[in-house]
């Protein structure tokens, strides 16, 4: 008990010492007038204020716009560097790199075939509501992605081709589209979250799936339930990344209302750009494997019904669940019985 | 304290043998009395709409020792951050070093406000959400890309005093001559003379941030 008390006393003493130190080192400008202030003019020196405030210089204004009280914010130069250099390199490497990887993958691995060939029997993978949620999000994402890339790279890539006036007119419309499509996009992400979260809880199967290279490298097909490890990555990236893009985007659409500081607005803008560019790179891979990269994959989101052999190869455990649970495969008229072929 | 303006002001001419001036603002905060006449004159001269302030006076250390007021507007930066982040590349720098922009190309995205160290870009609020109209800012009383002193130029950007051989109205009518406008070298010299004579000065506000690239040149 006494030991505890000495500890508390020590902590209080340390805190008091810290306070005294802070008071001693604080510039005269924040001390009460009674204190011995050094010569007043030097206390208003810009560099001293920068050093003390470690950033922007804030004052008081008599006009209604109180944001104008921020006299100087040198970190605007950091934002300039971010937008001119960091964002462009990051986006270029992420998106360009992904395109190179996908092209190389296609050249080396080729299209991932259904090894047993199409069976002619189909099984329902995504119902109407699920496909609606997917395509709502997807179509919004494509327009948002293009109009967003226009803000990041249009000046370098499109402006020289289109000319200043045409590019400005297109960018004006692109901005409007970008603002308004944020709402259906957010709705789509929320819908997908509700519909698919139960099938996307990570488990031991995902570890095995990744250990086997997901069947992309080599030809083994690690068994998985409704969603394999890779699909779960896409799901969580979409929900968390898409959610972050939506949140930062709404902050930017209502400037200084949700987030009220300059630093906050700059951070939201930076995060919005970086996460979006990484998401575009990821979704490029998703689009590839869902279309030209894999035989039979597109049908899942196209008609909603996939070939049974495709399902067995890629989602064997899920097929077992559905078959035993009686959710049932639809048998086209005239198809032979299961096992007969 | 021996205070002289940042070296930023002294090197402008060294960069090249250009005969053009490098226009800058310098606010002598030891002279500014926060009368806000510069703000009013700017609004009147350029018919700046309600809610938009091309120039403002900020008081720091208000009511405390070391209180100073600084009149601030666009500093017409070297390597201007607004121009660097603009998605439509609507900014341009004149031969006098004045940073201007085209309202025909501006899409009101607001990026220049996040990049500007001095809070210069202003936006009329328009339509839904926080949608911004075309950006408006101090033009150094130098109009815009339109032909000099045309009604079209005046409607979009306000006065073009520079084309008439006059300096910005804010500095011209400053009652204490706290706000100086003109070639950077000349106003820096005027300020340095003042500081030497009276023995104190709190520096050329914003010059370090606005013209830092020139300090090395």
3-state secondary structure B83-127: HHHCCCCCEEECCCCCEEECCCCCCCCCHHHHHCCCCCCECCECC
pLDDT score for A51: 65
Q: Which two tokens stand for residue A29?
A: 């400008």
CB contacts of B31 in chain A (<8 Å) are: none
Residues of chain B with pLDDT under 50: 1-17, 213-217
Q: pTM of the entire structure?
A: 0.82
- Asked if B114 lies within 8 A of A28 by C-beta distance, the reply is no
Provide the CA A62 distance to its chain's centre, in angstroms.
Answer: 41
Q: What is the rounded distance in angstroms from the CA atom of residue B210 to the CA atom of residue B133?
A: 26
Q: Does residue A20 lie in a domain region?
A: no
Are B200 and A76 in contact (CB < 8 Å)?
Answer: no
Judge whether A296 and A306 are in contact, CB under 8 Å. Answer: yes
pLDDT digits (tens, 9 = 90+) for A186-234: 999 999 999 999 999 998 888 888 887 777 776 677 778 889 888 999 9
Q: What's phi and psi for A257, nearest 5 deg? A: -105, -45
Both structure tokens of A150:
């226009």
Is the minimum CB–CB distance between A36 and chain B shorter than 8 Å?
no
**Do residues B69 and B29 touch, judged by C-beta distance below 8 A?**
yes
- Tell which wins on pLDDT, A330 or A286: A286
What residue in A sits closest to B133 (Cα-Cα)?
A: A172
Give the chain A residue whose CA is nearest to the CA of B36.
Answer: A62
CA–CA min distance A183, chain B (Å): 12
User: What total of structural domains would you count in chain A?
Assistant: 1
List CB contacts (< 8 A) between A165 and chain B: 104-105
Q: Which residues does residue B23 pair with via DSSP β-bridges, in sequence order?
A: B183
Q: Does the residue A235 lie in any domain?
A: yes
Pinpoint the alpha helices (H) of A26-121.
40-43, 46-53, 76-81, 87-91, 97-108
**Does residue A76 belong to the interface with chain B, where contact is any CB pair within 8 Å?**
yes
Is there a domain that residue A105 lies in? no
Q: Nearest CA of chain B to the CA of A274: how many Å?
A: 15
Residue A93 confidence (pLDDT)? 96
Q: A156 to chain B: nearest residue by CA?
A: B87
pLDDT digits (tens, 9 = 90+) for A16-69: 434 333 433 334 333 333 334 333 334 467 777 766 666 788 889 998 888 899
CA atoms in the 13 A half-sphere facing the CB of A283: 21
Is residue A317 over pLDDT 50? yes
Does any domain span residue A24? no
Q: What pLDDT, on the 0 to 100 scale, is given for residue A285? A: 95
ipTM of the complex: 0.86
Cβ of B105 within 8 Å of Cβ of A165? The answer is yes
The C-alpha atoms of residue B94 and residue B110 are separated, in whole angstroms, by 23
- Quick check: is A151 in a domain? yes
What are the angstrom distances between the C-alpha of A68 and each of A62, A231, B65, B119? 9, 48, 22, 7
Residue A60: Cβ within 10 Å count: 18
Q: What is the pLDDT of residue A53?
A: 65
Give the whole-angstrom CA distance, residue B82 versus residue B116.
Answer: 6
Is residue A11 pLDDT above 90, yes or no? no
Q: What residues of B are in contact with residue A63 (Cβ under 8 Å)?
A: 39, 53, 56
Dist. CA A177–CA A181, nearest whole Å: 6
User: From B72, which residue of chain A is nearest by alpha-carbon distance?
Assistant: A71
Distance, CA of A25 to chain centre: 43
| pLDDT band for position A115 (cuts 50, 70, 90) | confident
Locate B51 and state its tokens.
């809610």
Distance from CA of A153 to the nearest CA of B (A): 8
Residue A81 falls inside a structural domain: no
User: For the domain that residue A181 is a member of, what is the CATH number?
Assistant: 1.20.950.20
Shortest distance, CA B71 to any CA of chain A (angstroms): 9
Mean pLDDT to the nearest integer, A176-195: 96
Question: A61 and chain B: CB distance < 8 Å anywhere?
Answer: yes
Q: Using a CB-CB distance cutoff of 8 angstroms, which residues of chain B are in contact with residue A256?
A: 130
Q: Nearest residue of A to residue B204 by CA position? A: A46
Residues 6+ apart with CB under 8 A from B43: B53, B54
What is the domain range of residue A154? 126-330
Q: Do A171 and B206 touch (CB under 8 A)?
A: no
Pick A45 or A305 by higher pLDDT.
A305
A40 at the B interface (CB within 8 A)?
yes
Mean pLDDT along residues A166-190 = 96
Angle at A330 between CA A325 and CA A335, to 5 degrees: 130
Compute φ and ψ for B59, nearest 5 degrees. -105, 125
The pLDDT value given to residue A267? 97
Q: What is the mean pLDDT of residues A282-310?
A: 92
Share in percent of chain A as helix, strand, coil (round to 5) = 70, 5, 25
Contacts of B59 in chain A (CB under 8 A): 59-61
pLDDT score for B19? 67
pLDDT grade, residue A78 (50/70/90)? very high
Q: In the CATH scheme, what architecture does the domain B7-79+139-211 have?
A: 2-Layer Sandwich (3.30)
Residue of B nearest to A82 (CA): B85
């Amino acid at each position: 008990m006494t030991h505890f008390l000495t500890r508390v006393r020590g902590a209080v003493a340390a805190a008091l010492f810290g306070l005294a130190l802070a008071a001693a080192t604080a510039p005269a400008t924040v001390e009460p007038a009674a204190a011995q202030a050094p010569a007043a003019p030097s206390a208003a020196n810009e560099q001293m204020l920068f050093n003390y405030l470690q950033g922007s210089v804030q004052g008081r204004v008599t006009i209604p716009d109180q944001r104008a009280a921020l006299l100087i914010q040198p970190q605007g130069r950091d934002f300039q560097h971010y937008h001119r250099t960091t964002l462009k390199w990051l986006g270029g490497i992420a998106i360009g790199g992904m395109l190179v990887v996908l092209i190389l993958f296609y050249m080396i691995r080729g299209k991932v075939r259904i090894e047993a060939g199409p069976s002619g029997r189909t099984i329902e993978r995504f119902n109407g509501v699920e496909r609606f949620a997917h395509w709502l999000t997807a179509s919004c994402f494509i327009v948002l992605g293009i109009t967003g890339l226009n803000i990041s790279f249009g000046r370098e890539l499109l402006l020289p081709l289109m000319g200043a006036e045409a590019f400005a007119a297109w960018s004006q419309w692109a901005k409007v589209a970008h603002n308004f499509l944020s709402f259906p996009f957010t709705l789509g992400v929320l819908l997908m979250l509700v519909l698919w979260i139960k099938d996307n809880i990570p488990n031991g199967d995902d570890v095995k799936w990744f250990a086997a290279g997901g069947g992309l490298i080599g030809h083994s097909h690690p068994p998985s339930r409704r969603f394999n490890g890779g699909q779960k990555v896409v799901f969580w990236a979409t929900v968390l990344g898409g959610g972050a893009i939506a949140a930062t985007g709404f902050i930017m659409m209502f400037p200084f209302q949700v987030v009220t500081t300059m630093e906050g607005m700059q951070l939201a803008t930076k995060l919005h750009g970086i996460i979006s560019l990484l998401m575009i790179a990821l979704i490029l891979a998703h689009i590839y494997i869902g279309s030209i990269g894999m035989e039979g994959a597109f049908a899942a989101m196209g008609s909603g019904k996939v070939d049974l052999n495709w399902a067995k190869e890629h989602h064997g455990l899920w097929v077992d669940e559905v078959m035993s649970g009686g959710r049932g495969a639809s048998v086209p008229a005239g198809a032979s019985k299961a096992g007969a072929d | 304290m021996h205070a002289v303006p940042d070296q930023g002001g002294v090197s402008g001419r060294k960069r090249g043998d250009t005969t053009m001036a490098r226009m800058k603002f310098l606010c002598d905060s030891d002279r500014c009395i926060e009368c806000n006449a510069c703000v009013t004159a700017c609004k009147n001269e350029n018919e700046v709409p309600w809610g938009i302030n091309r120039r403002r006076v900020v008081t720091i250390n208000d009511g405390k020792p070391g209180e100073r007021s600084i009149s601030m507007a666009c500093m017409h930066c070297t390597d201007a951050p607004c121009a660097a982040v603009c998605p439509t590349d609507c900014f341009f720098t004149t031969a006098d070093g004045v940073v201007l922009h085209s309202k025909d190309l501006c899409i009101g995205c607001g990026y220049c406000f996040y990049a500007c160290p001095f809070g210069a870009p202003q936006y009329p609020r328009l339509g839904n959400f926080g949608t911004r109209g075309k950006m408006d800012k101090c033009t150094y009383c130098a109009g815009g890309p339109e032909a000099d002193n045309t009604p079209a130029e005046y409607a979009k950007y306000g006065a073009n005093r520079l084309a008439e051989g006059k300096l910005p109205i804010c500095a011209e009518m400053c009652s204490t001559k706290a706000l100086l406008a003109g070639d950077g070298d000349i106003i820096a010299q005027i300020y340095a003379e003042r500081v030497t004579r009276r023995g104190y000065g709190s520096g050329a506000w914003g010059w370090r941030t606005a013209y830092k690239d020139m300090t090395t040149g």
